[in-house]
């Protein structure tokens, strides 16, 4: 496969960096969602609980920034052609899953940011507090956190489809599609 059949290096690096951040952030989000603040604090203690919340918010902001950067590179550089071409079903499924992942990975951190601010909590990026973007409104916060949680489950479902499709091409079809996004030859 030639370099023209691969995404640009910056696109591949962003893909894998975002993938790692998303997996970590989803994992922490599930812990916080299942246990709640009090349950997390009882299980892990106050210091770890605060670190989990700060880390979740920080990684969410990072995902938002990196996804905006990734979208810019995608619009500027495009995507390499599939060689061999995908079947009609594969093309439609691939496009749908990728587009929905982009939308969900942009919407998810925005929903979290707004929900956090509406709840009266700081929107943290490492040690800095970012602007809240909305005033305190508990009812709005609850609705936005509910949407944030739903978006998390949508992302999990899309990741299952995305990874499943990648495994299909890599292990079953062995058609070279995986090298398009691979960091290795």
Containing 124, the helix (H) or strand (E) segment is: strand 123-125
Which of 59, 48, 51 has its CA nearest to residue 20?
A: 59
**Per-domain boundaries in the chain:** 3-180
Dist. CA 101–CA 64, nearest whole Å: 12
Is 2 a residue whose pLDDT tops 80?
no
Cis status of the peptide bond prior to 84, with omega within 30 of 0: yes
The CA distance from 126 to 58, in Å, is: 6
What pTM was computed for the model? 0.93
Confidence category of residue 71, pLDDT binned at 50, 70, 90: very high
CA distance 117 to 112: 8
Task: Please return the burial class of 85, using the count of CB atoms within 10 Å of its CB with bins 0-12, 13-18 and 19+.
Answer: exposed
pLDDT band at 3 (very low <50, low <70, confident <90, very high): low
Q: Please determine, for residue 48, whether its predicted confidence score (pLDDT) is greater than 90.
A: yes
pLDDT digits (tens, 9 = 90+) for 81-92: 888 889 999 999
- The string of DSSP codes covering 135-174 is ---HHHHHHHHHHHHHHHHHHHHHHHHHHHHHHIIIIII-
pLDDT in tens, 154-185: 999 999 999 999 999 999 999 988 899 999 87
pLDDT of residue 1: 46
Residue in the structure block whose two tokens are 């989000």: 29
pLDDT higher than threshold 80 for residue 132:
yes
Q: What is the pLDDT of residue 82?
A: 86
Confidence of residue 5 (pLDDT cuts 50, 70, 90): confident
CATH architecture classification, 3-180: Up-down Bundle (1.20)
């Amino acid at each position: 496969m030639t370099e023209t059949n691969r995404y640009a290096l910056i696109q591949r690096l962003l893909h894998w960096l975002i993938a790692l951040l998303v997996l970590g952030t989803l994992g922490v989000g599930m812990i916080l969602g299942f246990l709640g603040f009090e349950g997390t604090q009882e299980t892990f203690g106050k210091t770890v609980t605060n670190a989990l919340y700060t880390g979740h918010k920080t990684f969410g902001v990072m995902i938002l920034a990196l996804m905006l950067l990734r979208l810019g590179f995608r619009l500027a550089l495009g995507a390499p052609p599939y060689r061999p071409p995908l079947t009609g079903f594969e093309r439609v499924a691939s496009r749908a899953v990728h587009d929905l992942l982009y939308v969900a990975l942009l919407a998810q951190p925005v929903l979290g940011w707004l929900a956090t601010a509406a709840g009266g909590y700081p929107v943290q990026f490492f040690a800095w507090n970012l602007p809240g973007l909305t005033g305190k409104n508990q009812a709005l916060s609850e609705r936005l956190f509910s949407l944030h949680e739903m978006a998390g489950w949508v992302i999990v479902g899309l990741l299952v489809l995305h990874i499943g499709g990648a495994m299909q091409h890599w292990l079953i079809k062995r058609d070279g599609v995986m090298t398009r996004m691979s960091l290795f030859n």
